[in-house]
Amino acid sequence: MNIRILGLFLVLGFQQVFSQQLSTQAEVSVITIGPGTSLNDAFGHNIFRIRDRANGLDVGYDYGRFPFNEPGFYLNFAQGKLNYSIGKSKFQDLKDFYIWQNRTITEQVLNITLEEKQALLNYLITNYKPENRDYLYDFFFDNCATKIRDVLQVVLNNNITFHEPENFKPQTFRSLIRDKVPANSWGSVGIDLALGSVIDQQATAEEHMFLPAYIQAFFSQATIGDRKLVKSEETIYQEKPNPSNLDVLWSPLVMFSIISVIMLSITYSDFKKLTRNKILDATILIITTLLGILILLLWFATDHQATAQNYNLLWAFPLNVVLAWHINKTDPRPWVLKFLKFLIIMLFLMSFHWIVGIQVFAPALIPLLVALFIRYSYLIIYFKQRVELN
């Protein structure tokens, strides 16, 4: 009988520990972390902070943990099957870490009742259990920022109304990314190559909240019924100015310009000598083939929504491998000339897509695309002359 009573006390004790009943001094905040220097930090971060001085509680929950060192990480990421998870840390540790990274930390204390604070904490505790932690990550629709919004809506029974911040101007998903990643950076070029025209549509007001900065902006104006969602806002740490570490000499625009000058110089030399550099042509066609295959795989062989309808295929054409095989023969077949004309037409189609806004491409590619146009045009002239001579 004594053992049963002891067991009952232990169960009640564990329930008390794990339920973590908040006191009237408890505060719940949304923390917004500013951008960092690396590509994966460029968009910022959001954290729930639960603080209760009466109970010695000050923890942060965030939805940005990912298994970087687990086998198959890169394959899962490429396939769009990467699980992120909720994490829990002492807030002081999080604060020290982001100060060490020199990233701005802003806190918004939420204007919610004690019952709502308790409901949120209970939700996070349940969500943090090993069997509940993971979620399928999506860069635009299910990430560390959108989770903050969605979890709070669930806890508050969808009673939050989001209002547009002052001077708000809707943007496309791609332009929102470019606000955080400079267009003349390798990260931006990679994003523009990998993501298709679906991200060139205008995001709704709430869809802007895939970026942590918009969580902060929209939360500032949000209401729950007739009360403001945010009670107070302060900057815990302001990043210190850093000299730009962007190496202009190694930037995409400079590098593609150098490659283009080399291509145009070889093409001019071929024109003067009435010859053709087969190594250059083989290199162009093989590289554009490989890029085209990668774009196709991202479009059709993964679960990524944002890689669909990617019209970079208009210049990185997977079937260029067929032309690469035949163009170096002594007497190429007549269809080779038609294939080259087809590649010219596709470059014009790409320009049309860009001008009308169907898809915005990487500006750093312009010198390379011009060089491709001139090289293909020369090859048409060259093979026409060969046909006439024969």
Low-confidence residues of the chain: pLDDT under 70: 1-19, 68-81, 244-246, 330-331, 387-390
Cβ atoms of residues 295 and 312 within 8 Å = yes
Q: How far is CA 202 from CA 52, 77, 112, in A?
A: 41, 25, 32
Q: How far is CA 104 from CA 45, 107, 238, in A?
A: 10, 10, 5
| pLDDT at position 386 | 73
Nearest to 13 by CA among 5, 23, 25: 5
| DSSP E strands, the chain | 27-33, 45-52, 57-65, 83-90, 105-110, 134-136, 160-161, 223-224, 227-228, 230-237
What letter would DSSP give residue 108?
Answer: E
Domains contained in the chain, CATH given: 24-168+205-237 (3.90.1720), 248-389 (no CATH)
Dihedral over Cα of 151, 154, 157, 162: its sign: positive
**What pLDDT, in 10s, does the model give residues 160-197?**
999 999 999 999 999 999 999 989 999 999 999 999 99
Pairing of strands 223-224, 160-161: antiparallel
Phi (first) and psi of residue 30, to 5 degrees: -110, 125
- How open is the CA angle 183-297-309, to the nearest 5 degrees? 60
DSSP bridge pairs for 29: 49, 109
CA dihedral 236, 241, 242, 244 (to 10 degrees): 120
Other C-beta atoms closer than 10 Å to the C-beta of 193 total: 18
Angle, helices 186-194 vs 278-300, to 10°: value is 70
Both tokens of residue 255?
Answer: 């590098």
Nearest to 49 by CA among 33, 67, 72, 73: 33
- The whole-angstrom separation of Cα 353 and Cα 311 is 8
- How open is the CA angle 77-80-85, to the nearest 5 degrees? 70
Please report, as a single letter, which amino acid is at residue 262: I
**What pLDDT, in 10s, does the model give residues 47-58?**
999 999 999 999
Cβ atoms of residues 336 and 319 within 8 Å = no
- The whole-angstrom separation of Cα 83 and Cα 335 is 48
| pLDDT at position 390 | 60
Cβ atoms of residues 65 and 79 within 8 Å = no
Give the DSSP letter string of 163-229.
-PPTT----BHHHHHHHHS-TTSHHHHHHHHHS-GGGGSBPPTGGGGGSHHHHHHHHHH-EETTEES
| pLDDT at position 77 | 59
Phi (first) and psi of residue 142, to 5 degrees: -155, 85
pTM equals 0.86
| pLDDT at position 11 | 39
| pLDDT at position 21 | 95
* Distance separating the N- and C-terminal Cα atoms of the chain: 107
Cβ atoms of residues 256 and 368 within 8 Å = yes
Q: Name the region of 383 (left: φ>0; alpha: ψ -120 to 50; beta: rest).
A: alpha
Cβ atoms of residues 300 and 196 within 8 Å = no
Cβ atoms of residues 50 and 130 within 8 Å = no
Angle, helices 114-127 vs 2-19, to 10°: value is 110
Phi (first) and psi of residue 57, to 5 degrees: -110, 130
